[in-house]
C-alpha cells in the first residue's frame, strides 16, 4: 500500500454517504504539549484538505484563547481523504487506488478537559497514542491510554518530535512498547514539525483501525458528541451516526427531549463545513436545524428519524461531576440576565459546565458554577468575558463537603455560606487518587510535599532506571490550589501530575469567617483544615487592611472560627485636626473640642457601615492564598 500525493486528491468531500468499509474514525491522544495539534496540521496539509496558502499553525484550535495559550481546549473533528493502492506491493503503480475517508478528532491533553477526550473516544474506533521523544511517557499519557483501552480502541503507538536534539527514540520506544504490549520496532517515529513519518502513520491508520460497525437498514441513530451556538444559524450539532442514515429535509427527533426538527443542512467538517447529501453508518458530521433554543440539543442525546424512529436510545455519556465550585458575579448588577444567557450558550459547547443562581450580600446576584478544575474555571471565565463582553468577579474556589449534624442529617456544602451552625458530628471532604511521574532524584522532595498536603502513599513503581511513578491519595482541596505550583518548583519542572476523584474521607475542617465591624462578609469566608485556619485568617485580615479605604471611624477586621476570633487587624480612623484653628487660650477649650470629636466618632461607629469597594473585592479574591495560587497554577498547567 502506498499513499498518493495530496495534489492528486480531491479536497472536496464526496456528496454521497461513504461506505463504512472505507471509513476510519480515529483520535490523537497525548500529554500536554506532546505535539497533537502540530501533527494534526501536517495531516491536514498532506491530505490536501488545507492548501499551503490557508495553512496556519494550530489550524484546528479555533478559539483565540487556545492559540494564545498554545493549548487545545475543545476537541475538533475533521474529515480527510487518503487514497492507498490495493495489494501488498508498495511499488506496484498499476494497482487500483482505494479512496478512504479519515475522520480525525484532535483532543485536549489537560486533565481538566478529560471529559472532552472521553466523548471523542466514544466516536472513534482507533487512537494514535502520541509521546514526546524527548520527554517520554507522562501522567496524562497513561490516563488517556487507559481511557482508550476502556473503549476497546485500536492503539497505534507513535513517538513524536524525533527531530529534536534531545530526542531519545530508542529508549522511549521501549517504554511505550512495554506499556502497550507491542514490539519496540513497531512504534512509529514521526515529526509533526517536519512531516517526517506522517505518510506512514496515515497508512497504518488505514491498515490497523477497524471500519465502523452498524446496521445501514435499521432506523437512524446518531449520537450527539458536541454542539456549538452560531449567532446566525442557531445550534450546530455534531454527531456520529451509529445505525441507518440521516438526509437533508428529513424530520428528526431528539430522543431525550422528544423535540422534533427539520434538517435544514447536513454535512461534514473538512475542516470547514461542507454540506453533503446525507450521513451513513460510522460517519461523523454536523446537523443544522435552525433551532435557537440551546436546551434542545443535549450532548449524549440520540438523534433519530421522525418517520421511522428507533426504539432504544444509545448509551450516551455519564455526566461529569464538578470538582471545584466558584461564584461568578457581574461587576455591573444589570448584566445578570446577560450572564445567564451567556452561561446557557456556553454550556451547549461545554457539557461539563454546571451552574445555579445564588446571591451574596456583598456581591449581589450571580451564579454558583461547578468546574472540573482550576484551568477549566479560568478558561470559562475568560470565554465569558471575551465572547459575551462581561466583567466578572469570581469568588475563591472551593470543593464540595458533606457535613453530618448531631441529629444524623446530612448537608451538602458547595459554598462556605451554606456551612451549618450548631454542633457538627462529622465533615467529609472529597479525595483524589493522584499519579505523579518524576525523575528518581526528586522522590524525597515529592514525598515531603505530598505528606505536607495530608497525602497517603498508595504505591511506587520504577518505570525505568531514572523515572518513577508515585501514587498518592490526597484531599482534593489541597490539589486545586497551590499543589501543582509547588510540585513543579520542587522537581525543577520535570514532574507531571494526573488525578481522578476516588470518594470521600472524614477530616478536621472549620469555617473561617471574615468580619468587618462585626458583620460577616460572606464572599471572604472559607472552609479550611483546622491547622491552616490561623494562617488563612492572618493573611485575609492583613490583605483587607491594605485594600479597604480608611473611614471616619475605626474599623476592626476580624477572622473568626465560630464565636472565637483568631486574627484581627484595625483600620485606623481618619482624624480631622479640630485644633487647627484653636491656638492660645485655656487648655479646656482644646479638651472640649477633642471630647466632642470623640463622641461624634463613637456615635458614627455605632450607626456607620463599611463600604467595601468592588476593586477591593476583586483584588482580595484574585490574589489571596487560594486565588493567586489557583490562577498561577492554572497558567502554569497550560504551559506544561
- Residues 557 and 541 sit within 8 Å (Cβ to Cβ): yes
Q: What does the mean pLDDT of the chain come to?
A: 77
Residue 628 lies in a domain: no
What confidence tens digit (pLDDT) does each residue in 134-169 have? 888 877 777 778 888 888 888 898 988 888 888 888
Residue 349 structural domain: 324-395
Residue 43's closest CA among 274, 199, 271? 199
One domain, residues 495 and 532? no
Q: Is the pLDDT of residue 316 over 80?
A: no
One domain, residues 16 and 127? yes
Residue 629 lies in a domain: no
Q: State the Cα–Cα distance between residues 337 and 340, nearest whole angstrom.
A: 5
Residue 216 lies in a domain: no
- Say which range, 203-207, 305-309, 340-344, 455-459, has the weakest mean pLDDT: 305-309
What confidence tens digit (pLDDT) does each residue in 489-525 have? 788 767 777 778 888 888 888 888 888 877 887 778 8
Angstrom distances, CA of residue 283 to CA of 16, 244, 382: 11, 11, 34
Q: State the Cα–Cα distance between residues 144 and 340, nearest whole angstrom.
A: 33
**Which residues does the annotation place in the binding site for GTP?**
33-38, 160-163
Q: State the Cα–Cα distance between residues 208 and 220, nearest whole angstrom.
A: 27
What confidence tens digit (pLDDT) does each residue in 194-245 have? 888 888 888 888 888 888 888 888 888 888 877 777 777 778 888 888 888 8
Mean pLDDT along residues 459-481: 84
- Say which range, 62-71, 249-258, 479-488, has the weakest mean pLDDT: 62-71
End residue of a domain, out of 185, 208, 231: 208
Mean pLDDT along residues 275-290: 84
Residue 626 lies in a domain: no
* pLDDT band of 2, cuts 50, 70, 90: very low
Residue 259's closest CA among 287, 282, 232, 233? 287
Residue 108's closest CA among 153, 151, 148, 140? 140
Percentage of the residues of the chain whose pLDDT score is greater than 90: 2
* pLDDT band of 318, cuts 50, 70, 90: low
Residue 215 lies in a domain: no
- The most confident of the ranges 21-30, 544-553, 574-583 is 21-30
Residue 640 lies in a domain: no
Residue 336 lies in a domain: yes
Q: Is the pLDDT of residue 634 over 60?
A: no
One domain, residues 331 and 476? no
Angstrom distances, CA of residue 31 to CA of 72, 168, 169, 518, 640: 11, 17, 17, 49, 9
**Which residues does the annotation place in the binding site?**
33-38, 160-163
Which domain CATH number covers 290? 2.40.30.10
In this predicted structure, what is the pLDDT of residue 606? 45
One domain, residues 202 and 281? no
Query: CA angle at residue 167 from 161 to 173, to 5 degrees?
Result: 85
Q: Please state the domain count of the chain.
A: 5
Residue 453 lies in a domain: yes
136 phi-psi bin (left φ>0, alpha ψ -120 to 50, beta other): left
Q: Looking at the chain, how many residues does it have?
A: 640
Mean pLDDT along residues 337-360: 82
One domain, residues 573 and 456? no
Q: Is the pLDDT of residue 478 over 70?
A: yes
Mean pLDDT along residues 431-448: 88
* pLDDT band of 635, cuts 50, 70, 90: very low
One domain, residues 352 and 279? no
In this predicted structure, what is the pLDDT of residue 11? 37
- The most confident of the ranges 41-55, 546-560, 621-635 is 546-560
In this predicted structure, what is the pLDDT of residue 73? 55
One domain, residues 262 and 340? no
Residue 504's closest CA among 434, 436, 574, 428? 428
In this predicted structure, what is the pLDDT of residue 10? 37
One domain, residues 353 and 452? no
One domain, residues 131 and 225? no
One domain, residues 366 and 410? no
Q: Is the pLDDT of residue 8 over 50?
A: no
Q: What is the dihedral of CA 90, 96, 98, 99, to 10 degrees?
A: 110
One domain, residues 340 and 475? no
Instruction: Give 148: exposed, middle or buried? Use CB within 10 Å, 0-12, 13-18, 19+.
Output: buried
Amino acid at each position: 500500500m502506498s499513499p498518493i500525493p495530496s495534489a492528486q486528491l480531491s479536497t472536496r468531500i464526496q456528496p454521497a454517504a461513504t461506505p463504512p468499509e472505507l471509513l476510519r474514525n480515529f483520535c490523537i491522544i497525548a500529554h500536554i504539549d506532546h505535539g497533537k495539534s502540530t501533527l494534526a496540521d501536517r495531516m491536514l496539509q498532506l491530505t490536501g484538505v488545507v492548501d499551503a496558502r490557508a495553512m496556519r499553525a494550530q489550524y484546528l484550535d479555533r478559539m483565540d484563547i487556545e492559540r494564545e495559550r498554545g493549548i487545545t481546549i475543545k476537541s475538533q473533528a475533521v474529515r480527510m481523504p487518503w487514497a492507498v493502492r490495493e495489494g501488498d506491493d508498495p511499488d506496484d503503480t498499476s494497482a487500483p487506488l482505494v479512496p478512504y475517508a479519515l475522520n480525525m478528532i484532535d483532543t485536549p491533553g489537560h486533565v481538566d478537559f478529560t471529559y472532552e477526550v472521553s466523548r471523542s473516544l466514544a466516536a472513534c474506533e482507533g487512537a494514535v497514542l502520541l509521546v514526546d521523544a524527548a520527554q517520554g511517557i507522562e501522567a496524562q499519557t497513561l490516563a488517556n491510554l487507559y481511557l482508550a483501552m476502556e473503549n476497546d480502541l485500536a492503539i497505534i503507538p507513535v513517538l513524536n518530535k524525533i527531530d529534536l536534539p534531545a530526542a531519545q527514540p530508542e529508549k522511549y520506544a521501549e517504554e511505550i512498547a512495554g506499556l502497550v504490549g507491542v514490539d519496540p520496532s513497531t512504534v512509529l517515529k514521526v515529526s509533526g514539525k517536519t512531516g517526517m513519518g506522517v505518510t506512514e502513520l496515515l497508512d497504518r491508520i488505514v491498515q490497523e483501525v477497524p471500519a465502523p460497525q452498524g446496521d445501514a437498514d435499521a432506523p437512524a441513530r446518531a449520537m450527539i458528541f458536541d454542539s456549538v451556538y452560531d449567532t446566525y444559524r442557531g445550534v450546530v450539532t455534531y454527531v456520529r451516526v451509529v445505525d441507518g442514515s440521516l438526509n437533508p429535509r428529513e424530520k428528526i427527533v431528539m430522543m431525550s427531549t422528544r423535540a422534533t426538527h427539520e434538517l435544514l443542512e447536513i454535512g461534514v467538517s473538512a475542516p470547514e463545513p461542507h454540506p453533503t447529501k446525507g450521513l451513513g453508518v460510522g460517519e461523523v458530521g454536523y446537523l443544522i436545524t435552525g433551532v435557537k433554543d440551546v436546551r434542545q440539543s443535549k450532548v449524549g442525546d440520540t438523534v433519530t428519524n421522525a418517520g421511522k424512529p428507533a426504539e432504544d436510545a444509545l448509551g450516551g455519556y455519564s455526566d461529569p461531576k464538578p470538582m471545584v465550585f466558584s461564584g461568578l458575579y457581574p461587576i455591573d448588577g444589570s448584566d445578570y440576565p446577560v450572564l445567564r444567557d451567556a452561561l446557557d450558550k456556553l454550556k451547549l459547547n461545554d457539557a461539563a459546565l454546571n451552574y445555579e443562581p445564588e446571591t451574596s450580600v456583598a456581591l449581589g446576584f450571580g451564579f454558583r458554577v461547578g468546574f472540573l478544575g482550576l484551568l477549566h474555571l479560568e478558561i470559562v471565565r475568560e470565554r465569558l468575558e471575551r465572547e459575551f463582553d462581561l466583567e466578572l468577579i469570581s469568588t475563591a474556589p472551593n470543593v464540595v463537603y458533606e457535613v453530618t449534624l448531631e441529629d444524623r442529617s446530612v448537608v451538602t456544602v458547595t459554598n462556605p455560606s451554606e456551612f451549618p451552625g450548631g454542633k457538627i458530628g462529622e465533615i467529609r471532604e472529597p479525595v483524589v487518587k493522584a499519579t505523579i511521574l518524576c525523575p528518581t532524584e526528586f522522590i524525597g522532595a515529592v514525598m515531603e510535599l505530598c505528606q505536607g498536603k495530608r497525602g497517603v502513599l498508595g504505591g511506587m513503581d520504577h518505570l525505568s532506571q531514572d523515572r518513577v511513578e508515585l501514587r498518592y491519595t490526597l484531599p482534593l482541596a489541597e490539589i486545586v490550589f497551590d499543589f501543582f505550583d509547588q510540585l513543579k518548583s520542587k522537581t525543577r519542572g520535570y514532574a507531571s501530575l494526573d488525578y481522578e476523584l476516588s470518594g470521600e474521607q472524614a477530616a478536621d475542617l472549620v469555617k473561617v469567617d471574615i468580619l468587618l465591624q462585626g458583620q460577616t462578609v460572606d464572599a471572604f469566608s472559607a472552609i479550611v483544615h483546622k491547622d491552616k485556619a490561623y494562617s488563612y485568617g492572618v493573611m485575609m485580615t492583613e490583605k483587607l487592611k491594605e485594600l479597604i479605604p480608611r473611614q471616619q471611624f475605626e474599623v476592626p477586621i476580624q477572622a473568626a472560627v465560630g464565636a472565637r476570633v483568631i486574627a484581627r487587624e484595625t483600620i485606623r480612623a481618619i482624624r480631622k485636626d479640630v485644633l487647627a484653628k484653636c491656638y492660645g487660650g485655656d487648655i479646656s477649650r482644646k479638651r472640649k473640642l477633642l471630647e466632642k470629636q470623640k463622641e461624634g466618632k463613637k456615635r458614627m461607629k455605632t450607626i456607620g457601615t463599611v463600604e467595601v469597594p468592588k476593586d477591593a473585592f476583586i483584588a482580595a479574591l484574585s490574589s489571596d492564598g487560594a486565588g493567586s495560587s489557583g490562577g498561577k497554577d492554572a497558567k502554569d498547567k497550560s504551559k506544561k
